């Protein structure tokens, strides 16, 4: 058995791609459009997994965009997706600059939570040892839920 991908439905493909690629830094490795099924599938990989992801040899994130409008709501039963990052403070600042709310700031230099435009919860974990606690993250309060 091998883990293949996580699929999330998105209501705005452009906004979602901006969050996943420009915000989180994921890379699009393939795309499928189905006129008959009226949907678009976009497969994303972490940069270090992009080559293997394109060859279907690494876990991927599948964004499913149904062309006919539907309303989706995230449930806490889904949990979250987790990504290891090189610089937790840098990515949180980048996402914040894009207007993304940092729901659980990386006060400990190790872990943060954010949500995608469709309310999918993401845990961001510092690669290696935690960074030294620093402002503005150290005293930033939680916002919303994750």
Give the catalytic positions in this structure.
123
| 3-class state of residue 103 by DSSP | strand
Place of tokens 């989706």: 72
Question: Could you count the other beta carbons within 10 Å of the beta carbon of residue 62?
Answer: 16
Look at phi and psi of residue 38 and say left if phi exceeds 0, alpha if psi is from -120 to 50, else beta.
Answer: left
* Residue 118 near residue 11 (C-beta atoms within 8 A): yes
């Amino acid at each position: 058995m091998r883990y293949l991908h996580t699929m999330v439905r998105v209501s705005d493909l452009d906004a979602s791609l901006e969050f996943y690629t420009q915000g989180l830094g994921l890379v699009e490795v393939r795309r499928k459009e189905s006129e008959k099924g009226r949907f678009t599938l976009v497969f994303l990989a972490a940069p270090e997994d992009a080559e293997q992801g394109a060859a279907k040899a690494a876990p991927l994130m599948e964004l499913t965009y149904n062309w006919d409008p539907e309303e989706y709501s995230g449930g806490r039963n889904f949990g979250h997706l987790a990504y290891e990052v090189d610089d937790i403070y840098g990515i949180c600042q980048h996402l914040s600059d894009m207007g993304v709310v940092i729901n659980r700031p990386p006060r400990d230099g190790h872990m943060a939570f954010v949500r995608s435009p469709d309310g999918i919860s993401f845990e961001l974990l510092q690669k290696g040892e935690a960074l030294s606690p620093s402002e503005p993250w150290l005293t930033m309060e939680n916002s919303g839920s994750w």
